[in-house]
């Protein structure tokens, strides 16, 4: 179980309302760590908060779109004065089904602003406080998509590649201050967002992870940064890091097409 003396007494979970974020919240609550949960949708957010409170911890909620220009200030109104020992950035935005050159450029910018700009803002703020206290942890939830370019999610894939490389550098910067940094890379995970997207997760041979399992793996390996590929997908990540790139990108593209909902 995660160590409250290292990562407590408070944790901030951005994207903490459902799926993997909710699993993080419940497991942290089981460890006795108080929570600040941030998410756009008030309904699932409050449901997760209630489940965490039932485990005996204090929970504060913030129904917030992290794309809002005042998002960091809003987060600070809830967290200033709290000793935050753990930041989990689980918020993310995808662009399934949109080619870049014919897609909405404003939507693309939103993907970058959430997956990169908002992540940097929260990491900068809480990371500085952890560095000064010389303890804590930062977990950035990534994706196997960040290991190679993919059609119709090219910007999302690039943003996840940024996050992984950023985590590696941040891990180097903060390790001497006993602040742990981990990029937790997820593969196909059975979350409400995946279900809403209509992705097929019943294909023979497809490795599908459960939110509770990947959240537990991340918390168990928080001190083992800079990168942890969850759900038994390490070999896939290694393959996607190789050469020749054209063969790898085309092969992954063909495999990914099977996941998309049928058009008939």
Domains of the chain: 4-257 (3.40.50.720)
| Sign (positive or negative) of CA dihedral 186, 189, 192, 194 | positive
Q: For the whole prediction, is pTM greater than 0.85?
A: yes
Catalytic residue among 96, 147, 160, 177: 160
Angle at 31 between CA 30 and CA 33, to 5 degrees: 105
- HEC per residue, 30-41: HCCCEEEEEECC
156 catalytic? Reply is yes
Q: What is the pLDDT of residues 71-94, one digit of tens each?
A: 999 999 999 999 999 999 999 776
Q: Which helix (H) or strand (E) holds 140?
A: strand 136-143
222 Cβ partners below 8 Å, 6+ apart?
A: 2, 7, 86, 137, 139, 180, 182
Neighbours of 208 (CB within 10 A): 14
4 catalytic? Reply is no
86 torsion bin: left (phi>0), alpha (psi -120 to 50), beta (else): beta
Q: What is the pLDDT of residues 92-121, one digit of tens each?
A: 776 656 789 998 898 889 999 999 999 999
Catalytic residue among 7, 41, 147, 156: 156
Q: What is the pLDDT of residues 29-62, one digit of tens each?
A: 999 999 999 999 999 999 999 999 999 999 999 9
């Amino acid at each position: 179980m995660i160590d409250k003396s290292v990562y407590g007494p408070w944790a901030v979970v951005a994207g903490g309302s459902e799926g993997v974020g909710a699993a993080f919240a419940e497991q942290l609550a089981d460890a006795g760590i108080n929570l600040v949960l941030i998410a756009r949708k008030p309904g699932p957010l409050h449901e997760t908060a209630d489940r965490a409170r039932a485990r005996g911890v204090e929970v504060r909620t913030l129904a917030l779109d992290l794309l809002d220009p005042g998002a960091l200030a809003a987060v600070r109104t809830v967290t200033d004065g709290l000793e935050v020992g753990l930041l989990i950035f689980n918020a993310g935005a995808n662009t399934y089904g949109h080619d870049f050159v014919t897609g909405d450029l404003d939507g693309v910018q939103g993907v970058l602003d959430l997956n990169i700009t908002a992540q940097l803002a929260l990491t900068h703020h809480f990371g500085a406080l952890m560095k000064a206290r010389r303890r804590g942890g930062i977990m950035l939830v990534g994706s196997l998509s960040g290991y190679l370019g993919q059609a119709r999610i090219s910007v999302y894939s690039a943003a996840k590649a940024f996050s992984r490389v950023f985590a590696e550098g941040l891990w180097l910067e903060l390790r001497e201050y006993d602040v742990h940094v981990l990029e937790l890379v997820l593969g196909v995970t059975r979350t409400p967002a995946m279900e809403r997207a209509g992705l097929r997760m019943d294909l023979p041979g497809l490795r599908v992870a459960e939110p509770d399992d990947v959240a537990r793996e991340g918390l168990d390996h928080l001190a083992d940064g800079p990168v942890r590929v969850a759900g038994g997908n390490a070999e896939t990540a290694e393959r996607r890091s190789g050469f020749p790139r054209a063969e790898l990108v085309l092969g992954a593209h063909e495999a990914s097409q099977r996941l998309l909902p049928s058009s008939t």
